[in-house]
Amino acid sequence: MLDLQDVHTYYGKSHVLHGVSLEVSAGEVVGLLGRNGVGKSTTLKTVMGLVRPAAGHVRFEGRDLTGLAPHHVARRGIAWVPEDRRIFRLLTVMENLRTGLDRQGMTEPRKQELLEKVYASFPVLRERRHQAGGTLSGGEQQMLAIARAMTLTPKIILLDEPTEGLMPRMVAQIREIIDVLRRDGVAILLVEQNVPLTLEVCARVYIMEKGQVRYRGSARELQANETIIQQYLGVSA
């Protein structure tokens, strides 16, 4: 479904991605691991068209996305939940969700159907629907960011550090929603620092170092390879 081939990306003169290649199949949950600053978030931004690659190709369902504007990428069925969430802090929860619901071709029954699905996954958002997004807790804001992406009915969601700074109870909820999305057939490319969580929810993983993919394999294989985990991540599984 999603295919990056030999992608090189720069910020100005700074060469960040050095020939990154990875793929995500339909309905698959894939993890992208690595220490801070290795290019994981830049990889997601390159897919979304927020950063244009200097070389290489980004393809989705066989069509070249390279150089497309972010809103055109989103219309192809790719949703992005950034690390800093980027909810509209002055808008209510409901108004934030409407930014995904109020789009061309959406009927009122369909909007209500999607809204109820989001509320079923995140009941707290129903309770907070009239509350300003900026007054929510960190965990609730993360839920809102994921819920807003869900309203777009994407084929794949790019999740950037969804559990960062969250309490264990909230982390467990994020894990559950990843499972729900997977069961619904939504593919996920997950950037995470939480290695045990990533190995639990992902079928395959890539590890990046200095802008390059240094390891690729199944989550089960990586879980059994403590040497690789220590070498590239400096943690225990």
136 Cβ contact list (under 8 Å, min separation 6) = 93, 128, 144
Q: For residues 187 and 28, is the Cβ–Cβ distance under 8 A?
A: yes
Closest CA relative to residue 92, chosen from 164, 148, 48:
148
Q: CA 150 to CA 165: how far, in whole Å?
A: 22
How confident is the model at residue 26, as a pLDDT? 95
Count Cβ neighbours within 10 Å for each residue of 113-122 and write b for 16 or more, e otherwise: ebbebbbebb
Domain boundary assignment for the chain: 1-77+156-162+186-237
Place of tokens 């990533």: 198
Question: Per residue in 45-95, pLDDT tens?
Answer: 999 999 999 999 999 999 999 889 999 999 999 999 998 888 999 999 999
How confident is the model at residue 236, as a pLDDT? 58
Looking at per-residue pLDDT, the higher value among 137 and 85 belongs to: 137
Provide the greatest CA pair distance for the chain: 53
191 Cβ contact list (under 8 Å, min separation 6) = 31, 32, 40, 41, 43, 44, 83, 158, 159, 160, 161
Q: For residues 215 and 21, is the Cβ–Cβ distance under 8 A?
A: no
Q: CA 176 to CA 38: how far, in whole Å?
A: 28
Question: Per residue in 171-228, pLDDT tens?
Answer: 998 899 999 899 999 999 999 999 999 999 999 999 999 999 999 999 999 998 989 9
Q: Average the pLDDT over each of 7-16, 49-58, 104-113 and give the range with the smallest value.
A: 104-113
pTM beyond cutoff 0.85: yes
Which value, in Å, is the radius of gyration of the alpha carbons in the chain? 18
44 Cβ contact list (under 8 Å, min separation 6) = 80, 82, 158, 160, 189, 191
State whether CATH 3.40.50.300 applies to domain 1-77+156-162+186-237. Answer: yes
Residue 8's pLDDT band, with cuts at 50, 70 and 90, is very high
Span 121-136, average pLDDT: 94
